[in-house]
A and B are shown apart, each in its own frame.
Chain A
Amino acid sequence: MQIHSHEFKERAVTALHNSDLQRALAKAKGGFVDKRRAVIDILPEFQALRNRAREIKEHTLANLDFYLEQFEQQVQQQGGQVHWAENPQQARDIILKLCREANARSVTKGKSMISEEIALNEALEADGIEVVETDLGEYIIQLAKEPPSHIIAPAVHKTREQISDLFHEHHQKYGLTQRLTEVPDLVNEARQILREKYLQADVGITGANFLIAETGSTVIVTNEGNGDLTNCLPKVHIVTASLEKVVPTLEDASTILRLLGRSATGQEMTSYTTFTTGNKRDGDVSGPEQFHVVLVDNGRSKMLGNQFHDMLRCIRCGACMNHCPVYGSIGGHAYGWVYPGPMGSVLTPLMIGLDVAGDLPNACTMNGRCESVCPMSIPLSHLLRQHRIQQFERQLPDLRTRLGLRVWSFVAQRPRLYRFATGMAGRVLRLLGGRRGRVRSLPLTGSWTASRDFPTPQGESFIQQWQRSNPS
């Protein structure tokens, strides 16, 4: 996937002026927030579950090597294979090799953010393989040739009219020439096309919400059942997952599952929660002949124990972005890579570099709403600040910002100079503001006054006035 994170500012402004996007975002935002609140308000043990989930993940991360090896052994016992990929290139090579060995011409896919992270579709297509996304949202953006704009609702930026146009354009080749506008009709048409694709596919690739060490199972949650048709109809099933998805037991997965649906879509459980264990056995009605799990590191093992460790608890529910005022204003594409919103602003710089994604940790008001809804209690503001500390240490912010901060810090550490400087500033601002008490524009503060008046000081500074009326 192409990286555009360095264009964050430009893309954000474009997004703010995109009326279709703004309409789609406004509609989505209320839905996610209200539904989550409703379902959590009636769950008295929410906080207890959160604490337990955190313990489970921390225990797992502290013993990650053990549980990953246990997972691998269990997968092997069930007749499957685990492949270890240190980076996206290795992951793509492994999957391509598996597809070639299966003489794959067509691949169906369940939704997987790891697949986006390793840019799998492009690699498969370059090898002449037809790739079909089967999650409806992913299918829509695949037709639109766009990346997902949200980790659980990839086409949340699209309006119904845009989807109608896309289907009309791309489904004609199947003889479906009527323009559909109603949601159920659009869904049925996609279903009709996808059914054929499921049956033709040589390989099915899904992600994983959990990997279960004690059984070697992989778990996915969906609302469309597309994952099930992807993982049990083709001869080969490949799971792409990152290391930190592993949990020790089925019970652990069940605990975290109680948080996942509620935090993500406001559902107590998603419509489908699918546990896949090994390949087809004698007597099984369906299932793949081969079962592979590709475990992707891509920098995660380096995060273990460092200042970004907490991020490894993330279960990709999307609650942080659903509650983020910045994400809610500009949508996911502005962030310029795979993961948007607060969790993306922590992860992206770690994966593609702070010099490229430097805007992301700064484009945050530090309001903390994301971490207040995070089911895994990830201190997102704190982690974003860790990036800012590194940026400051590496002198990445532009000269003007660094100089401004330097001057301000120098003055603020000298109270008498500070009194003098603010006294002067106050006088100048009061002169400018006159009796109106505000100014419409000011030199050097164009970013403020472009959309806001600037309230000017009431009078002399508080300290000056206080000292006069309360001489010590």
Chain B
Amino acid sequence: MTPEPPLNVGLFATCLVDLFRPNVGFAAAKLLQAAGCKVYVPSQQTCCGQPAFNSGDLADSRALAEQVITVFEKFDYIVLPSGSCAGMMRRHYPELFADDPKWRERAQNFADRCYELTSFLTDICHYTAPKARYPHKVTYHDSCSGMRELGVKTQPRQLLQQVDGLQLSELRDTEACCGFGGTFCLKYPEISARIVNDKIEDIHSTEADTVLAGDLGCLMNIAGRLRRLNSPVKAYHVAEVLADLTADTPAIGQSSQEV
């Protein structure tokens, strides 16, 4: 069902997608357009401010939040192919301005219109029939922020069910963190490596040949470890599969020869 008139959606690609994985940005735009939205990608976007926020730097978190709000508030909705960045905007922007009469309402109004991509497609656009083919056994890693801050759990699965040839084999522990944690993985690399090892053990036990997730941070962590272990398992962002943009695109951290 296409909403009338089309919703104006500001796509916040996230800093990681922008720099490392443009394909996810294009996949998100394609899905949003297929769901009947008009997609805008403001070039003033940088980062949602999470690194500052989780480092206790409130002044810079607020400055970045103000920048994002100013650029994006004119759209009906703000959509992000990331649970953690969407969680930052939806849950934490209002918190940042809780004591600021000038920004409080503005931040809350903005936050209420920010969505993670798969939940926006299903919950707001009621778009549940992507046209895509991916004849593989896949498993799905739920990013912690998306799952716990935004309740993203069934939405990506609902969409994946419609992908031609795709078979979903769930992880034993679908609630486990992958060990990325933003700056955590750089500050405590050995602990992070141990946690991602557990994740990969779980991925291998599903016998899937592909792991999907909705957050590029988790995916770069998981893919980086998979590649180091020379695992045959590929890693894609869920949007790439849903938008059918995998055929000519190497998996994360892989070369065109390895497609």
Contact = CB atoms under 8 A, between A and B. Distances in A.
Interface stretch (B56-64, B98-106, B157-165): B56-64
B252 A455 contact: yes
Contacts of A409: 52, 57, 60, 63-64
B52 A365 contact: no
Contacts of B176: 325, 369
Nearest to B219: A455
Interface in B27-58: 29, 41, 43-47, 49, 51-58
B124 interface: no
A367 B252 contact: no
Contacts of B221: 452
The majority secondary structure among interface residues of chain A is helix
Given A12-B191, A363-B191, A466-B25, A457 B253 contact: no
A455 B222 CA distance: 10
Contacts of A12: 188, 190-191
Given A16-B194, A415-B45, A455-B253, A366 B21 contact: no
B174 to A, nearest CB: 11
A445 to B, nearest CB: 8
A393 to B, nearest CB: 7
Nearest to B186: A447
A385 interface: yes
B224 A366 contact: no
A437 B259 CA distance: 11
A422 interface: yes
Interface stretch (B130-138, B144-152, B203-211): B144-152
B153 interface: no
Contacts of A461: 18-19, 22
A462 B26 contact: yes
B184 A448 contact: no
Interface residues of A, number: 67
B232 to A, nearest CB: 15
A200 interface: no
A419 B49 CA distance: 16
Contacts of B55: 388, 392, 397, 401, 405
Nearest to A457: B20
A78 to B, nearest CB: 45
B191 A329 contact: yes
B185 interface: yes
B193 interface: yes
A455 B191 contact: no
B179 interface: yes
Contacts of B53: 385
Interface string A400-415: 0100010011011101
Contacts of B52: 405, 408-409
B13 interface: yes
Interface in B216-232: 220-221, 223-225, 227-228
Nearest to B175: A369
A368 interface: yes
Most A C-beta atoms less than 10 A away, residue of B15, B24, B184, B194: B194
A412 B54 CA distance: 16
A470 B25 CA distance: 13
Nearest to A373: B175
Contacts of B191: 12, 16, 326, 329-330, 363
B45 A463 contact: yes
Nearest to B189: A447
Interface string A341-382: 000000000000000000000111111110110000000000
Interface string A439-472: 0100001011011111111111111011100100
B182 interface: yes
B187 A447 contact: yes
Contacts of B196: 451-452
A364 B13 contact: no
A390 B26 CA distance: 40
A388 B54 contact: yes
Nearest to A455: B253
A368 to B, nearest CB: 4
A367 B144 contact: yes
A368 B60 CA distance: 23
A389 B56 contact: yes
Contacts of A13: 190
Given A392-B55, A405-B52, A438 B180 contact: no
A415 to B, nearest CB: 4
Contacts of B220: 454-455
Contacts of A393: 56
A88 interface: no
A391 interface: yes
Contact of B22 (A367, A440, A465): A465
Contact of B46 (A329, A362, A412, A465): A412
With most chain A CB atoms within 10 A of its CB, the pick from B18, B25, B148, B195 is B18
5 contacts: A365-B180, A369-B148, A409-B52, A450-B193, A466-B22
Given A329-B198, A408-B52, A454-B220, 16 more contacts: A325-B177, A366-B181, A387-B56, A392-B55, A415-B45, A415-B67, A418-B46, A422-B18, A438-B254, A448-B224, A450-B189, A452-B225, A459-B22, A462-B21, A465-B22, A467-B41
